[in-house]
């Protein structure tokens, strides 16, 4: 049997190569489409959050809590008891519509505070050590309660769920080349929402200290400390460009917003919270001293 060879038609499916302009145009369109969709979803979560019961956050909150369990001072520790008491005193006065809050101190060398899903507030021992004024402490505490009142954690949970589903859904269409576009679009839209949440929580915290202290401006030194901490961790000053990818607004912007708020909300009560702050600071720092020293020794042995 004689086999005849036929030369293939090389003109079939042959088109002009994609230009650089076309490539970047497609990437821009994809990125803007994703950013628009992500923004719309975040707005939907923002509007829906107030109608979801707090009990919905309980189980996701336990996952976060369990991941930090080794660092917690127990609920019955005097520092955690006093922090919980102060958190609920603020809640009863400024946000009585939300259920009781559980607050804890965790032993960490990094100064931080955050609100977890399920009505939980966390202060690190390092933050308590850094705070020098009761106005600073109650500004942070009010800020974290503000996150709970505004349902920011619920919006975060919804956003995380959507990111997972959306990433899986679009991957067959964008492939590996489009993954970084999705990631970038999500980062920029998420950071914008997060910065707005921080400013709203700042406003709630300023509202708290404006009612508790005769000189609430003393609390603004907190933002100076935050700015110094960022410089220490990143090795550079805060800037407008770098802040675009940050979850928090510029410290100077937060200070200016806080000063503006206090001008329109004069303080009305006397300073009666100094002793409680000093007691909590001593309990939290001393309660973690031995635990942090032990962890430091263990880390040194591993090296």
DSSP string, 205-240: HHHHHHHH-S-GGGGGHHHHHHHHHHHHHHSS---H
Domain ranges, residue 138: 44-302
How are strands ordered across the β-sheet holding 102-106? 102-106, 120-124, 113-116
Question: Is there a domain that residue 10 lies in?
Answer: no
- With a cut of 50, list the residues of the chain below it in pLDDT: none
Among residues 37, 42, 19, 40, the alpha carbon closest in space to that of 174 is found at 37
User: Which pLDDT score, from 0 to 100, does residue 102 have?
Assistant: 94
User: Which pLDDT score, from 0 to 100, does residue 95 have?
Assistant: 93
Question: Is there a domain that residue 5 lies in?
Answer: no
User: Which pLDDT score, from 0 to 100, does residue 252 have?
Assistant: 82
Tokens of 277: 């702050």
| 20-48 and 152-212 helices, crossing angle to 10° | 60
This prediction has a pTM of 0.77
Taken in order 61, 106, 104, 126, the sign of the CA dihedral is: negative
Q: Work out the end-to-end distance of the chain between its first and last CA atoms, rounded to an integer number of angstroms.
A: 75
Question: Is there a domain that residue 14 lies in?
Answer: no
Question: Is there a domain that residue 8 lies in?
Answer: no
User: Which pLDDT score, from 0 to 100, does residue 216 have?
Assistant: 87
User: Which pLDDT score, from 0 to 100, does residue 206 have?
Assistant: 93
User: Which pLDDT score, from 0 to 100, does residue 23 have?
Assistant: 65
Q: Could you read off the pLDDT of 45-97 as tens digits, one per residue?
A: 777 777 888 888 888 888 888 888 888 888 889 999 999 999 999 999 999 99
Tokens 């080349």, residue located: 177
Question: Is there a domain that residue 196 lies in?
Answer: yes
User: Which pLDDT score, from 0 to 100, does residue 19 have?
Assistant: 66
Question: Is there a domain that residue 17 lies in?
Answer: no
Among residues 83, 135, 87, 86, the alpha carbon closest in space to that of 285 is found at 83
Residue 210, burial from CB neighbour count under 10 angstroms (0-12, 13-18, 19+): buried
Question: Is there a domain that residue 9 lies in?
Answer: no
User: Which pLDDT score, from 0 to 100, does residue 181 have?
Assistant: 52
Strands (DSSP E) along the chain, which ranges? Answer: 102-106, 113-116, 120-124
User: In angstroms, how far apart are the furthest CA atoms of the chain?
Assistant: 107
Among residues 157, 163, 131, the alpha carbon closest in space to that of 274 is found at 131
Contact 131, 281 (CB under 8 A): yes
Number of domains forming the structure of the chain: 1
φ, ψ for residue 135, nearest 5 deg? -60, -40
- Cα–Cα dist 296/252, whole Å: 34
Task: Label residue 119 left, alpha or beta by phi (over 0 means left) and psi (-120 to 50 means alpha).
Answer: left
Question: Is there a domain that residue 16 lies in?
Answer: no
């Amino acid at each position: 049997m004689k086999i005849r060879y036929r030369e293939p038609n090389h003109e079939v499916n042959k088109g002009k190569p994609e230009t650089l302009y076309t490539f970047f145009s497609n990437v821009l369109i994809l990125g803007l489409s994703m950013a628009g969709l992500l923004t719309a979803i975040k707005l939907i979560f923002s509007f829906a959050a107030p109608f979801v019961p707090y009990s919905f956050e309980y189980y996701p909150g336990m996952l976060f809590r369990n991941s930090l369990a080794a660092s917690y001072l127990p609920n019955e520790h005097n520092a955690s008891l006093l922090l919980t008491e102060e958190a609920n005193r603020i809640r009863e006065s400024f946000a009585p519509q939300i259920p009781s809050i559980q607050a804890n101190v965790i032993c960490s060398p990094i100064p931080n505070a955050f609100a977890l899903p399920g009505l939980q507030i966390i202060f690190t021992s390092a933050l308590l050590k850094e705070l020098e004024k009761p106005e600073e402490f109650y500004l942070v505490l009010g800020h974290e309660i503000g996150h709970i009142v505004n349902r920011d954690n619920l919006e975060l949970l919804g956003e995380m769920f959507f990111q997972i589903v959306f990433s899986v859904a679009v991957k067959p269409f964008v492939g590996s080349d489009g993954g970084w576009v999705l990631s970038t679009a999500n980062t920029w839209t998420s950071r914008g929402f997060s910065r707005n949440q921080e400013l709203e929580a700042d406003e709630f915290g300023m509202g708290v200290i404006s009612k508790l202290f005769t000189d609430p401006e003393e609390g603004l030194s907190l933002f100076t400390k935050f700015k110094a901490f960022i410089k220490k961790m990143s090795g550079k000053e805060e800037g407008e460009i770098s802040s675009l990818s940050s979850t928090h607004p510029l410290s100077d912007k937060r200070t200016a917003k806080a000063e503006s708020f206090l001008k329109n909300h004069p303080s009305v009560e006397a300073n009666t919270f100094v002793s409680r702050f000093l007691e909590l600071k001593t309990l939290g720092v001393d309660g973690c001293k031995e635990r942090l020293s032990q962890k430091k020794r263990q880390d040194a042995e591993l090296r």
